Chains A and B, each alone.
Chain A
């Protein structure tokens, strides 16, 4: 018998008991829908985050105090990086491929102005920071080198902070805000950028790092040093140069763990990609379990079907059906079952993904590979779980099948 005719035969057999067919397919439908949904949402969320990181530029190198090999907690409170390190990186060797350097210190403070108060993350930064983070001001100016060298008590407010303190359409530049009870003059407001990942830069307040260290924090070390490179192609070489410079400056013995670590934003992107990829596969793996459960359900029903249709198998064998004809007929039936279940699952999964991405405001991505995976997996489930019942039917002796009551 031709394969095409076997498909038609299988479809009519499945149509004849539509409720059972649908219930049998349910496991596959749910499994495929869940896999599609999770993979698509994972890809969408990854894209949302990486877009955000990429908007900061892939030409940044971030220097942390402490060694990353001790884990993130190893870096907290480590005081090894200084402004002098930052200046050394910028000035020692012009061939280092370095565009600009900005030390960064940060802490949350209570900000009071105009009878209002908010808690905000105060960032002590240098002039290049604005460019590095693609920050622009809608009013006034950003932190300048002059403010840094002058230890000026000036602040640039994020738009949300400005709004919370002064309300809409207020003339904010020139106003005085109190940060930790010390007066700062507002010199600028940054452009709204919205939430990025887990932080909202609109709720930040920027001050010169020198002022922050001396006046607000009373510390002589910095939390991070941001380095902007000129040519991203040789960023690895540049990082190596910075590392050896700092090792010399910090008098680290040969082979000892350095007391700082370097990361490029490129690294961060790839790490993030790895993490989200891992998370997505993990969740998709869990969803795939339901496919196995669905497959077992299909095998169960196919076994029942074979028993119910024993006499039919006997008749077909009497009419000249060979073992292969019966095997293919039942196998194709279970594949049609899982593939149509897969198709419904894809429709539901894509629909749900569309709905959730619209609500959560993340990019709607359904990759061809996830669709191909769904189709492939549902076919394979049909084959694997269909082969045993089909074999059972094909192996029936015609005489036993005809006698079956």
Chain B
């Protein structure tokens, strides 16, 4: 695994300050790590540790105050809003804890949405969206409205949508936070399967048993890296 190939993600001395009035709050302090292709990384930490900030910067949703962020060897720190939108569209597949799908919109249209922003022609879109839905086992729900499916199904649709653009990384922010434990583990099994198929996955969580599905765990505390451990081969099914 530790080859000399170019990392997918490279955080180099990333700092992030939030300025509220006269006070400056340092959310991230000199964070550096690399994530290579086909890794499955869990970023852990209690609330306020900076894991959400890390995820936002990694997802090109926010920019660092200082330091460099290389995504597939491209320094995206200096990109403007539209260029970042394109990075999010093509390189990153997001799965959020909640509010993942557009309400009153069919499952199919939800999965098609990133392709619409990439100006992919409608006939190709439908085909690719259906393929992606098949991957998560929900092709028969394609025409259902997003508010008429279960919580576990919603997350699977979100995964299908995250996969549809063939992104460099899949970024999941507490993807099981709103699910019961049985469904949560089903979803995590699925993430493992995706990783086995070659997808690079970064997972943000504060739950140990969810993080246990990952091959590598980065623990944050007060904006710094507390530990960065690679699990031995016992990753599978920690139930």
CA distance A320 to B165 in the complex (A): 11
Question: Residue of A at shortest CB range from B88?
Answer: A320
CA distance A2 to B119 in the complex (A): 8
> Provided the pairs A325-B117, A402-B96 are in contact, do residues A318 and B82 lie with their beta carbons within 8 angstroms?
no
CA distance A402 to B96 in the complex (A): 10
CA distance A399 to B52 in the complex (A): 10
Q: How far is the CB of A353 from chain B (nearest CB, A)?
A: 38
Contact A322 B59 (CB under 8 A): no
A137 in the interface, Cβ–Cβ < 8 Å? no
* B105: A residues at CB distance < 8 A: 12
A315 in the interface, Cβ–Cβ < 8 Å? yes
Residues on B facing A (Cβ under 8 Å)? 56, 59, 61-62, 81-82, 85-86, 88-90, 94, 96, 99-100, 102-105, 113-114, 116-119, 161, 165
A317 in the interface, Cβ–Cβ < 8 Å? yes
Set B85, B90, B102: member contacting A322, Cβ < 8 A: B85
Set B85, B90, B119: member contacting A317, Cβ < 8 A: B85
Q: How far is the CB of B13 from chain A (nearest CB, A)?
A: 21
Contact B161 A319 (CB under 8 A): yes
A1 in the interface, Cβ–Cβ < 8 Å? yes
Q: How far is the CB of A165 from chain B (nearest CB, A)?
A: 76
CA distance A399 to B60 in the complex (A): 9
CA distance A323 to B104 in the complex (A): 23
Interface size on A, residues (CB 8 A): 23
CA distance A321 to B115 in the complex (A): 10
Contact A319 B56 (CB under 8 A): no
Contact A5 B116 (CB under 8 A): yes
* A321: B residues at CB distance < 8 A: 85, 117
A233 in the interface, Cβ–Cβ < 8 Å? no
* B61: A residues at CB distance < 8 A: 317-318, 398-399, 402
CA distance A192 to B83 in the complex (A): 81
Give 16 A-B contacts (CB < 8 Å), ordered by A residue: A1-B116, A1-B119, A2-B116, A312-B99, A312-B103, A315-B99, A316-B102, A318-B61, A319-B88, A320-B114, A321-B85, A322-B85, A323-B81, A397-B62, A398-B61, A399-B56
* A311: B residues at CB distance < 8 A: 99
Question: Residue of A at shortest CB range from B92?
Answer: A318
A16 in the interface, Cβ–Cβ < 8 Å? yes
* B114: A residues at CB distance < 8 A: 319-320
B56, B119, B165: which has the most chain A beta carbons within 10 Å?
Answer: B56
* A5: B residues at CB distance < 8 A: 116
> Provided the pairs A319-B88, A398-B61 are in contact, do residues A12 and B104 lie with their beta carbons within 8 angstroms?
yes
Contact A318 B116 (CB under 8 A): no
Q: How far is the CB of A211 from chain B (nearest CB, A)?
A: 86
Q: How far is the CB of B57 from chain A (nearest CB, A)?
A: 9
Q: How far is the CB of B178 from chain A (nearest CB, A)?
A: 14
Q: How far is the CB of B124 from chain A (nearest CB, A)?
A: 14
Set B103, B113, B165: member contacting A316, Cβ < 8 A: B113
Question: Residue of A at shortest CB range from B53?
Answer: A399
CA distance A323 to B56 in the complex (A): 18
Set B104, B113, B119: member contacting A319, Cβ < 8 A: B113
Contact A319 B117 (CB under 8 A): yes
* B88: A residues at CB distance < 8 A: 317-320, 398
Contact B85 A315 (CB under 8 A): no
Given pairs A320-B86, A322-B86, 19 additional interface contacts (CB within 8 A)? A1-B119, A16-B104, A312-B103, A319-B88, A319-B94, A319-B117, A319-B161, A320-B85, A320-B117, A320-B165, A322-B81, A322-B85, A322-B117, A323-B81, A398-B61, A398-B88, A399-B56, A399-B61, A399-B62
CA distance A316 to B116 in the complex (A): 11
* B165: A residues at CB distance < 8 A: 320
Question: Residue of B at shortest CB range from A326?
Answer: B85
CA distance A311 to B89 in the complex (A): 17
Set B59, B96, B119: member contacting A315, Cβ < 8 A: B96
CA distance A22 to B92 in the complex (A): 39
Question: Per-residue CB proximity of A71-106 to B under 8 Å, as 1/0?
Answer: 000000000000000000000000000000000000
* B118: A residues at CB distance < 8 A: 320
Q: How far is the CB of A213 from chain B (nearest CB, A)?
A: 84
Question: Per-residue CB proximity of A289-323 to B under 8 Å, as 1/0?
Answer: 00000000000000000000001100111111111
Contact B82 A323 (CB under 8 A): yes
CA distance A315 to B85 in the complex (A): 12
Docked complex: A377-405 residues within 8 A CB-CB of B: 397-399, 402
Contact B90 A320 (CB under 8 A): yes
The 8 closest A-B pairs by CB, nearest first: A320-B89, A320-B117, A399-B62, A322-B85, A398-B61, A319-B114, A16-B104, A399-B61
* B59: A residues at CB distance < 8 A: 318
* A398: B residues at CB distance < 8 A: 61-62, 88
CA distance A202 to B128 in the complex (A): 81
Q: How far is the CB of A19 from chain B (nearest CB, A)?
A: 15
Question: Residue of A at shortest CB range from B173?
Answer: A402
Question: Per-residue CB proximity of A173-210 to B under 8 Å, as 1/0?
Answer: 00000000000000000000000000000000000000
* A319: B residues at CB distance < 8 A: 88-89, 94, 113-114, 117, 161
* B104: A residues at CB distance < 8 A: 12-13, 16
Contact A315 B102 (CB under 8 A): yes
* B103: A residues at CB distance < 8 A: 16, 312
Q: How far is the CB of B50 from chain A (nearest CB, A)?
A: 14
Q: How far is the CB of A114 from chain B (nearest CB, A)?
A: 80
CA distance A59 to B130 in the complex (A): 79
CA distance A104 to B226 in the complex (A): 111
* B86: A residues at CB distance < 8 A: 320, 322
CA distance A91 to B161 in the complex (A): 97
